[in-house]
Chains A and B, each alone.
Chain A
Amino acid sequence: MARLERLPDFEREYLLGLPLPEFPTTAWVTPPDLARCRVAIVSTAGLQRRGDAPFAENSADYRVIPGDIGANDLVMSHISVNFDRSGFQQDLNIAFPLDRLKELAAEGVIASVADYHYAFMGATDPRQMESGARHVAGMMKVDQVNAVILVPV
């Protein structure tokens, strides 16, 4: 479905017409060996703990998701209706691969999993998220994170 040639014309044109931020250069940080990486997940699926304030239109803030969150404590308040939610309803790892990451840590593929993960709501212009993202980066460094996997929805 994310193969553009499989989408209806209106959907393809819509996605290709979305305004995108421009980055003239790409910063590059060389991480340690993968086996020494402490990894955090940052999602733009509008995920939140059950009971947290929901995301709204144009929300540029973020929610904190503790690494020991129970499966039934994670819900989604993304504003868009134009992506599949039935996968997430069946298995949270389809959009938030916390269990898979913990397995890789247990096997020594990565060093460890962060204590905290973060969620933004991807329908908002990402330029509005810059301040929140930089704040999140600071918190991840306090958590000794040295590699981040970003997962869209």
Chain B
Amino acid sequence: MSALAHYFEQEGLATTTIALVRPHAERIRPPRALWVPFELGRPLGVPNDPAFQRRVLRAALDLLRRPAGPVLEDYPEEAPEEARREEDEGGWACAISFAPPPGDPAAMTLAERFLDEVRQLEPWYGLGLERRGRTTVGASGLTVPEAARYIGAFLGAEPPASPRADIGAGLALKLACEDLRAYYFESALAQPGQGRATSDSISDWFWTETVAGEVFWALKEVCLKSGDPMMVAMGRYILVPRKQMKGVGDNPEFSGGSFGVAPR
């Protein structure tokens, strides 16, 4: 992000940058940067808190008044979720309960149990969509059932072909997985008491308590055994978060990998 500021400024445009990783801003030295102490993914600090977001935005824009630079300033206010995360770690439990699948669960495949779980979340997902008036599901271009079936098919004997003519099977799988994860998260965020949830607690719920999480862990192994470099990279780095793997991919020495620069 900070590097782009150099290019824009060289082209004659004044810039101000929000920075999430302070040492990166220190090294790259963009003209004006506001370091914020928020978690990755939340540069404005707090969702659904316009006043908080405005304070952050104003602080970043106010750097445009500085007479000279480079300027790197620290934003002083913490996001309230940080305190809650430390006080209440593990205190949130997803209230969504899943009914046992029809028939004998032991006779069902993992992919079948996954599809059943996806179906059971539909009312919660619908409620969330109605309340927020938007959904972040959809980058894959597939419907949720289509995306779930496509993911599930990778657990079978033969990997399926890409459902889209314009992208390969690996990227389609990545997008389908992110759509499903968004579907689960948006469903969980629609449940009662979601205000106490932290990003970590929702993520832990997904990866440790749902059939979807079980599917994604199984998919990771499928990807690692694939002959497709995109699939292997996905299995190593971009399917399961480092926090859940408790490390960096399958290779602690990883510092570049097939992406040139390792995906953050």
Contact = CB atoms under 8 A, between A and B. Distances in A.
Contacts of A71: 133-134
B241 interface: yes
A151 B186 CA distance: 23
Interface residues of B, number: 104
Interface centre among A2, A21, A93 (most CB of B within 10 A): A2
A82 B199 CA distance: 12
B36 interface: yes
Contact of B61 (A56, A94, A137, A149): A149
A97 interface: yes
Given A29-B12, A77-B175, A100-B53, A86 B44 contact: no
A42 B41 contact: no
Interface residues of A, number: 96
B1 A44 contact: yes
Contacts of B61: 34, 37, 39, 104, 109-110, 147, 149
Interface of A: 1-4, 6, 8, 10-11, 14-23, 26-31, 33-34, 37, 39, 42, 44, 48, 50-51, 53-54, 56-58, 70-72, 74-77, 79-95, 97, 99-101, 103-104, 109-110, 120, 122-130, 133-134, 136-138, 140-141, 145-153
Given A34-B64, A85-B136, A86-B185, 7 more contacts: A17-B255, A20-B27, A22-B27, A37-B61, A57-B233, A80-B238, A133-B7
